[in-house]
Amino acid sequence: MLTLESTPGFSIVDMHTHSRQFVISAVFVTFATSAALAQHSAMPPGVTHDEHSAQMQKDAELKKRGAAAMGFDQNKTTHHFRLYETGGAIEVVANDPADKPTVGQVREHLKEIASEFARGDFGKPLATHAELPPGVQAMQQRTNALTFRFEDTGAGGRVRITASDGKAKNAVHEFLRYQIREHATGDPLTISK
Task: Provide the greatest CA pair distance for the chain.
Answer: 92
Residues near 132 by beta carbon (within 8 Å), at least 6 away in sequence: 122, 125, 126
- pLDDT tens-place values along the chain, 193 residues long: 545 455 555 455 554 555 555 444 444 444 444 433 333 457 667 768 776 666 666 556 656 665 655 766 889 999 999 999 999 999 999 999 999 999 999 999 999 999 999 999 999 988 876 889 999 999 999 999 999 999 999 999 999 999 999 999 999 999 999 999 988 899 999 999 7
- Residues 161 and 121: their CA atoms lie apart, in Å, by 15
132 and 122 Cβ atoms separated by less than 8 Å? yes
- Residues 68 and 91: their CA atoms lie apart, in Å, by 18
pLDDT value of residue 126: 83
- Residues 126 and 137: their CA atoms lie apart, in Å, by 12
Report the run of H or E that residue 89 belongs to, with start and end.
Answer: strand 87-94
pLDDT value of residue 49: 75
Other CB atoms closer than 10 Å to residue 71's CB: what's the count? 14
Expressed in angstroms, the distance from the first to the final Cα of the chain is: 85
Query: pTM to 2 decimals?
Result: 0.70
- Residues 103 and 81: their CA atoms lie apart, in Å, by 18
Q: Name which of 90, 86, 40, 92 is nearest 67 in CA terms.
A: 92
pLDDT value of residue 25: 46
Question: Cβ-count burial of 59 within 10 angstroms (0-12 exposed, 13-18 middle, 19+ buried)?
Answer: middle
Q: Name which of 163, 159, 123 is nearest 139 in CA terms.
A: 163
